[in-house]
Amino acid sequence: MSKFLLLAFRNVFRNRRRTLMTLLMVGGGVAGLLLVGGFFAFMFRGLRESTIRNGLGHIQIFTAEHFQRDEVHVLDTGISDWQHVASSVRTGKHVRGVAPRIEFYGMLSNGVKSSVFMGSAVQPEIERSMGFSPRLASGNDLNSSSNGEVEALVGTGVARSMNVKVGDGLTILSVTADGALNGLDVQIVGLVNTGFKDLDDRYLRITLPSAQRLLQSDRVTNLVVGLDNTDNTDAVAAELAPQLRGLSQPMVEKKWIELAAYYKQVRTLFSGIFLFLGVIVFFMVLMATVNTLLMAMFERTREIGTMLAMGTPRTWIVALFMVEATLTGLFGAVAGVIGGNLLGMLLNVSGLHLPPPPGTDVPMAFRVLHVPALMIGSSLMVVVSLALASILPAIRASRLQIAEALAHV
Amino acid sequence: MIPTVALVHVDAVTRRFPLDHNEVIALDHTSLRVERGEFLAIAGPSGSGKSTLLNLIGCIDKPTSGRILIDGVDTGTLSPVQLTDLRRKKIGFVFQTFNLIPVFTAAENVEFPLLIQGLSPAERRTRVTEALESVGLAGRAHQRPDLLSGGERQRVAVARAIVHRPALVLADEPTANLDTRNATQLIELMRGLNQRLGLTFIFSTHDQRLLEHTPRIVRLTDGQVVSDSFAKGDVHEQVSAACIS
C-alpha cells in the first residue's frame, strides 16, 4: 500500500508546471472562501456583540404572561418582585450582572415640536458594569446619583429632529400603569449613536427610578442578564431554567438569539451568499481538474497499458487516479489555508474600512477571522471536488484497451 | 507416450482489424505450439503480424477466430478478471520502448509485479535483489529510468518481466531501440535466463543478426507462418508452413 501511495505521490509532481497551476487554482479557491467566510464571520461576530451590547444582553427574563397577552397598560405584565429574582440570578456562574429594564413609549416635546419615542429605563451603573454602555456621540452617560434634574439620553436623530443638544431640556409624556397621562421634564446629558438610523430617530433613555415615577409603578419589564462570554449563553440558560420555574410569579427566559431577529436575517442572507460562492468554487475546481486529469491520463496512456498488461487490476488504476487527485486536493487545501490565513493577516493589519452599511452611519472595519471550522470545511470541499473530478478520467483510464494503449504514441 | 500440454498453443488463429471500410488481416489461420523452456524468436518484416501474435499470446488482445491456450487453458473462455490474473501470474512482458514507470527507481519498477501479487515487503526485497543481480544491475537499483542507458533500461524491463517467476516471458522487439552491442547482450542475457531458470521466452525481431544463436525461429509473412526452424548445431532446419499446419 505504501508503494502504491508513493507512486500516486510521485505522479502528482510529475508535471510540476501543471501541478503548480492546479494547486494555485485549488489553493486560490480555498483562500478565497477563507477570506470571504472569515470576513462574514467577523461581520456576524461584530453584529452579534453589538446586538448584545446595544442592550439586548445575553439572556432576558420576562414574566410568562408577557408572551401570553398584550399589555392593557404599561407594565401590567411586568416583574413585580424583580429585586429578588435579580439577586438570585446574579449568583450564577459566568453572570456579570443583572440589569432591570423598563421598555416604554410616549411623546417627547421641546415646547414647539413633539415626536414619538421608544424609551428604555435602566440602572446606569449596573449597565456600565455589564459593558452595556450606550455609544455616546456627545455628552455623558446617565448618573443615578444626580440630584435635581432628571437626566436623559436621546438619539442623534431625536436631537436633530427636535433641534436640541446636550444641556437642553425636554418634556416626556407617557401613560401610567393605571392608564393616566403623566409628564416628566428631563435634561439631556448625552446624545447616542446606536449605529442604526431608525433607532436613533426614536431613542430615549432615562434612569429606572425616573421611569417608575413617570409610569407610577415599581415593576420592571424584564431583567437583562449579562455574561462574561457569549459562548456561555446556552450553559447559563440551562442552569437558570429550573431556578425560574420555582418562583411565585411564573417566569421565562429568552436567549439573545431568540430575540435578535435582525441578526438572524443578516446571518441567513450572508450564509446563502457564502453557499453560492462555495458552489461556484466547487464547480470551477471540478471543471478545471477534470481537464487536467484527462490530460494526465492521455499522456500516461502507454504506462497505464503497461500496468494493465502486467496484470494490474483495473480497480487499482481507478484508485491510483483518485488518490492522485485527492493528494492534489490535500496539497491545494494546505496551500489555500496557509495562503488564505496569511492574506487575511495582511488585510487585518492594513486597517481597511468599508463604507457604512445601509441603516447605519458608522464605517465598517474590514477584518478577516481565522475560523477553524471554515478551514476544515473549505479543505474538505476541494478534496471531495477533486476526488469527484477524478472519477471520469480514472474510469476512462481503467477501461483502456491494453493493446491500443501500448501502441499509443 | 503421454502427450504433454504445450505451454502455448495457438490454434488456427485469425485476427482482423477494421480499417475505414475495409479490414486488415493481421494473422490468418496461424497455428503454433511452444513447449516449456523454449527460447523462440518470431521473425518477419514490419506488418507481418509479429506484435499481434505476441499480443494474443499475452492475452492483451482477443482473436477474431481460433483459440489460444496457455498451459492448457483456453483463454477465450476466461473472464476479464481471470485474464488479468493469468497475466499477473504466468506472463512477463518486455516492450520495445522499455515502458518503465518513470517516477519509480529501477528496483521499484522491478518490484511492481510483486506488489500487485500482494507479496510481503521482505519477500519483495529479496526477489527484487535477485532479479536485478541476474541482469547485472544490482548497483543501479536506486536509479530512476531517465538516468539509465537504453541497454540498462531494457535489462531492468527484463528483470521486471522475470521477477515474479512467470511461466512465459514475451518480448516484443526488445532490441529495436538498442545498438548492436546492447542488442546482442540483451539476447544473450535472455538466453542465459532461459537456460539457467528454465523460463520460456518468446520474442519478436526483424534483426537477422540476432537470430543466429536462437534455437527456434518462427517466420511470419502477411500474417501466416511461412517457416518454423529448429537449430541443429549451428544450422537451422527449416520446416515448411505446410508441415506445421
Q: Which among A3, A316, A403 has the least Cβ separation from residue B55?
A: A403
Q: Identify residue B234 by its one-letter amino acid code.
A: D
Q: Which residues contact B235 (CB under 8 A, 6 or more apart)?
A: none
Interchain contact, A306 vs B108, CB within 8 Å: no
The label of the residue with cell 491520463 reads A297
Q: Which residues contact A330 (CB under 8 A, 6 or more apart)?
A: A379, A383
Q: Is B104 at the interface with chain A, CB within 8 A?
A: yes
State whether the Cα torsion A371-A377-A378-A379 is positive or negative. Answer: positive
Q: Contacts of residue B91 in chain A, CB cutoff 8 Å?
A: 311
Q: What is the ipTM of this complex?
A: 0.91
Quote the pLDDT of residue B241: 42
Quote the pLDDT of residue B181: 87
In a domain? residue B74: yes
Q: Is A408 at the interface with chain B, CB within 8 A?
A: no
In a domain? residue B213: yes
End-to-end CA distance of chain A: 30
In a domain? residue B15: yes
* B71-84 residue pLDDT tens: 999 999 999 999 99
Cβ atoms A213, A205 nearer than 8 A: no
> Mean per-residue pLDDT for A369-378?
93
Range of the domain at B193: 8-244
Q: Which of residues 358-397 of A touch B (CB under 8 A)?
A: none
Q: What does chain A come to in residues?
A: 409
Nearest chain B residue to A405 by CA: give it: B60
* A265-323 residue pLDDT tens: 989 999 999 999 889 988 888 888 888 888 888 899 999 999 999 999 999 999 999 99
Q: Across the strands, what pairs with B217? A: B41, B229
Compute CA A31 distance to the chain's CA centroid, rounded to the nearest angstrom: 20
Compute CA A133 distance to the chain's CA centroid, rounded to the nearest angstrom: 21
Q: Identify residue B73 by its one-letter amino acid code.
A: V
The label of the residue with cell 421598555 reads A103
Q: Contacts of residue A4 in chain B, CB cutoff 8 Å?
A: 115
User: Which string of DSSP letters, residue by residue, matches A15-53?
Assistant: SHHHHHHHHHHHHHHHHHHHHHHHHHHHHHHHHHHHHII
Q: Across the strands, what pairs with A105? A: A118
Interchain contact, A403 vs B84, CB within 8 Å: no
In a domain? residue B68: yes
Cβ atoms A354, A363 nearer than 8 A: yes
Angle at A126 between CA A123 and CA A129, to 5 degrees: 150
Nearest chain B residue to A317 by CA: give it: B116
In a domain? residue B3: no
End-to-end CA distance of chain B: 22
Q: Which residues contact A56 (CB under 8 A, 6 or more apart)?
A: A224, A256, A259, A260
Share of chain A above pLDDT 90, in %: 53
Higher-scoring residue by pLDDT: A46, B89? B89
* A82-93 residue pLDDT tens: 998 898 888 888
C-alpha to C-alpha distance for A173 and A111, rounded to whole angstroms: 12
Q: Tell me the shortest Cα–Cα distance from A4 to chain B, in angstroms.
A: 8
- Which pLDDT band holds residue B238 (cuts at 50, 70, 90)? low
Q: Across the strands, what pairs with B39? A: B201
Across chain B, mean pLDDT equals 89
Domain boundaries of chain A, sorted by first residue: 2-51+263-406, 80-248
CATH number at residue B13: 3.40.50.300
In a domain? residue B17: yes
Q: Across the strands, what pairs with B23? A: B18
* A126-175 residue pLDDT tens: 888 888 878 889 999 998 776 678 999 999 999 999 999 999 999 999 99
- Strand, helix or coil at A62? strand
Quote the number of domains for chain B.
1
- Which pLDDT band holds residue B245 (cuts at 50, 70, 90)? very low
Cβ atoms A166, A138 nearer than 8 A: yes
- Range with the poorest average pLDDT among A43-57, A342-356, B132-146: A43-57
C-alpha to C-alpha distance for B241 and A236, rounded to whole angstroms: 97
Interchain contact, B84 vs A311, CB within 8 Å: yes
| Alpha helices, H only, chain B | 50-57, 80-90, 106-117, 121-134, 150-162, 180-197, 241-244
Residue A214 has pLDDT above 50, yes or no: yes
C-alpha to C-alpha distance for B83 and B89, rounded to whole angstroms: 10
Quote the pLDDT of residue A281: 85
Q: Is A288 at the interface with chain B, CB within 8 A?
A: no
C-alpha to C-alpha distance for A259 and A67, rounded to whole angstroms: 12
Q: Which among B60, B81, B103 has the least Cβ separation from residue A10?
A: B103
Interchain contact, B108 vs A3, CB within 8 Å: yes
Quote the strand ranges of A168-240, DSSP E: 169-175, 181-192, 203-207, 222-227
In a domain? residue B2: no
Interchain contact, B61 vs A314, CB within 8 Å: no
